[in-house]
């Protein structure tokens, strides 16, 4: 694997959100600038059936002077390895040290059901994609070395692949216990950036209602449910969406009670925590929540 020349320097906390896809681009640029001014180290976005993550990354990076942008994650099945590397090198040259490529194999319903592709060998397909990226020609102007990349990884095999062929991992829908397991598999030198959902509401009924509404889509995906069982949740927890499960996956309460629990990921071995603020109305970005969290986490 070619050496990476740009270290991953994106601070300790970042914002993870898919909500900007629901806003006009002019409003997105304004929100990105506000997040930058709040002091967040990185802004993370997924890829599913919304806007293109690489195009979005370019727009977001151009909208602010300091903050990094990461894909959490860009789907390997959505693009050829040469295209993945070309986009990454383009962003790395234009915004040095500010773009982090997160790659993942996504899930069978999206790959087979939406894209009409084969999902029978995701681990082998990811390894082949990374090898092909390293071998891909690129004739444009670019810095020397390979831009940084991390993998969406939950299970031991994908985490081991992240240690072998990437610069770290971006686990999603997990807990600090999983972070500790991931650190053990990755080793001490790889970058680890788990995501964690939060609801800034001290009312248990309201907060858990928002949490369950946002968790529902993920609890239909075997990659996540298998991982939940791996880290100690039961089938009953998953099928009933128990309070025990909700309270572990989605931190709720006031800022003062949430912040120490987010820091548990750092104590378990994370380098960076991606904070996803959940809302009842996805058309209204949680700007006030992002600001309050930034003041508490970054001050």
Mean pLDDT on 104-108? 96
Residue 2 lies in a domain: no
CA neighbor of 98 nearest in space, from 143, 140, 141, 129 = 143
Residue 3 lies in a domain: no
> Which pLDDT does position 86 carry in this prediction?
98
Mean pLDDT on 17-28? 98
CATH of the domain at 198: 3.20.20.30
Q: How confident is the model over 125-138, as pLDDT tens digits?
A: 999 999 999 999 99
> Which pLDDT does position 8 carry in this prediction?
83
Residue 58 clears pLDDT 60, i.e. is over it: yes
- pLDDT classification of 299: cutoffs 50, 70, 90: confident
Whole-prediction pTM: 0.97
CA distance linking residue 234 with residue 249, whole number of Å? 14
Please, what is the average pLDDT of the chain? 96
Residue 2 clears pLDDT 70, i.e. is over it: no
> Which pLDDT does position 88 carry in this prediction?
98
Q: What is the CA radius of gyration of the chain?
A: 18
Residue 23 lies in a domain: yes
Domain containing 154: what range?
A: 13-298
The total number of structural domains in the chain stands at 1
- pLDDT classification of 160: cutoffs 50, 70, 90: very high
Q: How confident is the model over 63-77, as pLDDT tens digits?
A: 999 999 999 999 999
Residue 7 clears pLDDT 90, i.e. is over it: no
Residue 4 lies in a domain: no
- Alpha carbon of 196 to those of 27, 110, 121: distances in Å? 25, 22, 28
- pLDDT classification of 1: cutoffs 50, 70, 90: low
Residue 79 lies in a domain: yes
Mean pLDDT on 178-185? 98
Mean pLDDT on 90-111? 96
Residue 6 lies in a domain: no
Residue 81 lies in a domain: yes
């Amino acid at each position: 694997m070619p050496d990476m020349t740009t270290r991953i320097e994106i601070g300790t906390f970042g914002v993870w959100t898919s909500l900007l896809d629901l806003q006009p681009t002019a409003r997105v640029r304004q929100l990105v600038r506000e997040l930058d001014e709040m002091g967040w180290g990185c802004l993370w976005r997924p890829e599913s059936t919304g806007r293109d993550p690489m195009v979005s990354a370019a727009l977001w990076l151009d909208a602010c002077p300091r903050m990094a942008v990461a894909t959490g994650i860009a789907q390997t099945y959505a693009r050829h390895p040469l295209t993945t590397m070309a986009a990454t090198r383009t962003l790395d040259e234009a915004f040095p040290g500010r773009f982090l490529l997160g790659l993942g194999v996504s899930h069978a319903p999206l790959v087979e059901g939406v894209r009409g592709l084969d999902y029978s060998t995701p681990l082998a397909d990811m390894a082949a994609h990374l090898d092909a990226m390293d071998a891909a020609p690129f004739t444009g102007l670019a810095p020397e070395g390979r831009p940084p990349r991390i993998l969406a990884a939950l299970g031991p095999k994908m985490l081991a692949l992240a240690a072998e062929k990437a610069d770290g991992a971006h686990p999603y829908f997990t807990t600090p216990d999983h972070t500790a397991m991931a650190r053990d598999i990755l080793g001490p030198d790889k970058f680890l950036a788990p995501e964690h959902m939060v609801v800034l509401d001290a009312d248990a009924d309201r907060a858990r209602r928002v949490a369950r509404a946002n968790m529902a889509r993920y609890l239909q995906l075997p990659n996540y449910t298998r991982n939940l069982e791996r880290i100690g949740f039961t089938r009953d927890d998953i099928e009933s969406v128990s309070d025990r499960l909700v309270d572990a996956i989605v931190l709720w309460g006031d800022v003062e009670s949430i912040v120490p629990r987010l820091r548990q990921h750092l104590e378990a071995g994370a380098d960076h925590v991606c904070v996803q603020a959940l809302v009842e109305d996805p058309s209204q970005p949680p700007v006030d929540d992002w600001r309050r969290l930034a003041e508490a986490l970054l001050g």
